[in-house]
A and B are shown apart, each in its own frame.
Chain A
């Protein structure tokens, strides 16, 4: 069983990811921390609590985190997901649980120090909480063996030409995490864009299953598909978080990925802010480079850009109807 801490900016896609995680018997969610992202932090917290209620399995503690990117104002995604982040998704009106008093940054540090290398971190939003935890307690955070994240672009962004939305939201925080040294698994915009195409058959699978609560799985799926139809240019934002969870739980879904030394651009023009610069060169593959004294950083990242979308659809619908 994998022990996981999930850091999340919960809107409709993250509701789906959280319900999946809480329904997966091979996973135990130790804690959930929230952060601003597609929605403000307060709404992310509320949606997280509602997701736990909707999942109806167990109740990990929820800790609220940072409300603003490190150096600029938040750009939310209310254009796509609405002010409450849920689109037309109906979850319970009243969560059966309240958030904890402890700040998310401290909760991350506490949970990592408790479980160490037995814990995996899954990040479904901007990396602001994690960056601050790394800055505050680097020795504790270095015990993590891996961080899986929704975000980054292998070749092409969805927020600007080169940046993916979550990274673009707080590029400085993201680069603190990328530069830290704990290996990353980046589930990119490209990987999730391809999954936005799955649909009708998976929907049928959901309809034929035993829904819990009644119709909730279908509602989740319908909501994401409808959002995709309304916002074809934002398709990559819809299934990215469910996919990142799926990749953590079922790495065999990965069809294509590459190792790289990845860093995040925080300087320069708006055209490149938040670009995940994936340096795949090695001395062996790129002997022609001009500056032979230039050192290429050790690979820190697995960049996942293609997954088995049909198998992902089955996995997703299987967990939602459980």
Chain B
């Protein structure tokens, strides 16, 4: 059974990923660590506890982490996720409490005690991970692989012309993680947008009807699909974090990916937060290519949605 820690800025789509992980028989979640991103870290922590409640399986410890990006304040995404990050629906309060240990300390302690077999999934900004890497590089080097929801391949992103939210929210932290040396898979925003990955109007309703947990997974995303309805005239639901979890659990769901030497741009007038994918050494560059990542740009949409549905239905 694969052992994992999930680092999350729990807002709506994170909640679905957390539920999926807790219900996936091939995986044991050792801990959730939280970070500011979609929503502030206090709310993210509460939302993670609530997701555990509604997953209705076992209860891994939840550790609260860092409240702001490394170097500069950034924006949140409440317009997509609601003020509480969970669609402002009014779900029941969780019974579990957060741990007193800091998320960064918990990461270092748990990974340090492991045997190099604990994998990391990040579905928020990379602030906690970067700080843990700075504080305990030798421990963090024991991580065999990191799966990251983040980055963008093409220039058509909602937030800036070429940066995806999780990376843009803390580009400095992301740069530390990319340069650290642990190989990673990046599930880009477009992987969650193309090839039938978004849930359709019908699929949203069908999932809602599949039990309390599945209803929770849909309802906590209502701000997103209501916004889609207002703008496009129909409901549609992109779920980047669940796609990322699905790809982690079942790599066969990947349709298109490529190896790259990935950098995160920290400077730049227009490009701060851009994930720069170096795929070849151009004739004008002296430095050899050093592949550090796999970039996922497409998944099999229907297969991913079936995988997700099977995990969250009752």
User: Please, how many angstroms separate the alpha-carbon atoms of A272 and B231 in the complex?
Assistant: 33
Produce 1/0 per residue, B153-168, CB < 8 A to A: 1111011011001000
- When distances are taken between beta carbons in the complex, the residues of chain A under 8 Å from B277 are 161
Produce 1/0 per residue, A277-292, CB < 8 A to B: 1111100001111111
Known pairs A161-B276, A289-B159; list 20 more (Cβ under 8 Å): A75-B284, A80-B283, A155-B154, A158-B282, A159-B282, A159-B284, A161-B279, A233-B282, A261-B161, A267-B268, A272-B265, A272-B271, A275-B271, A278-B155, A278-B161, A279-B161, A280-B156, A281-B161, A288-B158, A292-B79
Looking across the interface, which residue of chain A has its beta carbon closest to that of B284? A159
- Inter-chain contact B265/A268, CB cutoff 8 Å: yes
- When distances are taken between beta carbons in the complex, the residues of chain A under 8 Å from B231 are 287
Q: How far is the CB of A292 from chain B (nearest CB, A)?
A: 7
User: Please, how many angstroms separate the alpha-carbon atoms of A231 and B284 in the complex?
Assistant: 12
What's the count of A-B pairs with C-beta under 8 Å?
104
User: Please, how many angstroms separate the alpha-carbon atoms of A231 and B281 in the complex?
Assistant: 12
Instruction: For the complex of A and B, list the 8 residue pairs with the smallest distance between their C-beta atoms, beginning with the closest.
Output: A268-B268, A268-B267, A279-B161, A277-B270, A288-B158, A272-B271, A271-B276, A290-B75
For chain A, give the interface size range: 35 or more
Find residues 226-259 in chain A having any chain B CB closer than 8 Å to their own CB.
231, 233-234
Looking across the interface, which residue of chain B has its beta carbon closest to that of A279? B161
Q: Within the complex, which residue of A156, A267, A279, A291 is in contact with B269, where a contact is CB–CB below 8 Å?
A: A267
- Inter-chain contact B283/A286, CB cutoff 8 Å: no
- When distances are taken between beta carbons in the complex, the residues of chain B under 8 Å from A292 are 79
- B142 an interface residue at 8 Å Cβ cutoff? no
- B272 an interface residue at 8 Å Cβ cutoff? yes
Q: If the complex has contacts A165-B284, A290-B79, are A269 and B263 also in contact, measured as CB distance less than 8 A?
A: yes
- Inter-chain contact A162/B276, CB cutoff 8 Å: yes
User: Please, how many angstroms separate the alpha-carbon atoms of A279 and B162 in the complex?
Assistant: 8
User: Please, how many angstroms separate the alpha-carbon atoms of A286 and B165 in the complex?
Assistant: 14
User: Please, how many angstroms separate the alpha-carbon atoms of A263 and B280 in the complex?
Assistant: 24
- Inter-chain contact A268/B269, CB cutoff 8 Å: yes
Q: How far is the CB of A244 from chain B (nearest CB, A)?
A: 20
Looking across the interface, which residue of chain B has its beta carbon closest to that of A294? B160
Looking across the interface, which residue of chain B has its beta carbon closest to that of A157? B282
Main secondary structure of the interface of A (DSSP, over half): loop
- A88 an interface residue at 8 Å Cβ cutoff? no
- When distances are taken between beta carbons in the complex, the residues of chain B under 8 Å from A287 are 227, 231
- When distances are taken between beta carbons in the complex, the residues of chain B under 8 Å from A261 are 161
- B213 an interface residue at 8 Å Cβ cutoff? no
Q: How far is the CB of A81 from chain B (nearest CB, A)?
A: 11
Q: How far is the CB of B260 from chain A (nearest CB, A)?
A: 9
- B115 an interface residue at 8 Å Cβ cutoff? no
- B292 an interface residue at 8 Å Cβ cutoff? no
- B278 an interface residue at 8 Å Cβ cutoff? yes
- Inter-chain contact A271/B75, CB cutoff 8 Å: no
- Inter-chain contact B283/A234, CB cutoff 8 Å: yes
User: Please, how many angstroms separate the alpha-carbon atoms of A266 and B270 in the complex?
Assistant: 9
- Inter-chain contact B227/A272, CB cutoff 8 Å: no
- A79 an interface residue at 8 Å Cβ cutoff? yes
User: Please, how many angstroms separate the alpha-carbon atoms of A261 and B270 in the complex?
Assistant: 12
- B303 an interface residue at 8 Å Cβ cutoff? no
User: Please, how many angstroms separate the alpha-carbon atoms of A231 and B280 in the complex?
Assistant: 13
Looking across the interface, which residue of chain B has its beta carbon closest to that of A168? B284
Residue of B76, B263, B265, B277 ringed by the most chain A CB atoms within 10 A: B265
- Inter-chain contact A271/B265, CB cutoff 8 Å: yes
- Inter-chain contact B282/A288, CB cutoff 8 Å: no
Q: Within the complex, which residue of A79, A155, A266, A290 is in contact with B155, where a contact is CB–CB below 8 Å?
A: A155
Find residues 269-307 in chain B having any chain A CB closer than 8 Å to their own CB.
269-272, 274, 276-285
User: Please, how many angstroms separate the alpha-carbon atoms of A244 and B270 in the complex?
Assistant: 26
Q: How far is the CB of B42 from chain A (nearest CB, A)?
A: 20
Q: Within the complex, which residue of B76, B263, B271, B284 is in contact with A265, where a contact is CB–CB below 8 Å?
A: B271
- A160 an interface residue at 8 Å Cβ cutoff? yes
User: Please, how many angstroms separate the alpha-carbon atoms of A234 and B156 in the complex?
Assistant: 26
- Inter-chain contact B272/A268, CB cutoff 8 Å: yes
- B67 an interface residue at 8 Å Cβ cutoff? no
- When distances are taken between beta carbons in the complex, the residues of chain A under 8 Å from B79 are 288, 290, 292
Q: Within the complex, which residue of A75, A156, A159, A268 is in contact with B271, where a contact is CB–CB below 8 Å?
A: A268
A and B contact pairs by CB, cutoff 8 A, 24 listed: A79-B284, A80-B283, A155-B153, A158-B282, A159-B284, A159-B285, A160-B282, A160-B285, A233-B282, A234-B282, A260-B155, A268-B269, A271-B263, A272-B271, A272-B274, A277-B155, A277-B161, A277-B271, A288-B79, A288-B80, A288-B158, A290-B77, A290-B158, A290-B159
- When distances are taken between beta carbons in the complex, the residues of chain A under 8 Å from B281 are 233
- When distances are taken between beta carbons in the complex, the residues of chain A under 8 Å from B271 are 162, 265, 268, 272, 275, 277
- When distances are taken between beta carbons in the complex, the residues of chain B under 8 Å from A79 are 283-284
Q: If the complex has contacts A269-B263, A281-B156, are A231 and B162 also in contact, measured as CB distance less than 8 A?
A: no
- When distances are taken between beta carbons in the complex, the residues of chain B under 8 Å from A265 are 268-271
- B145 an interface residue at 8 Å Cβ cutoff? no
- B102 an interface residue at 8 Å Cβ cutoff? no
Q: Within the complex, which residue of A156, A267, A281, A288 is in contact with B227, where a contact is CB–CB below 8 Å?
A: A288
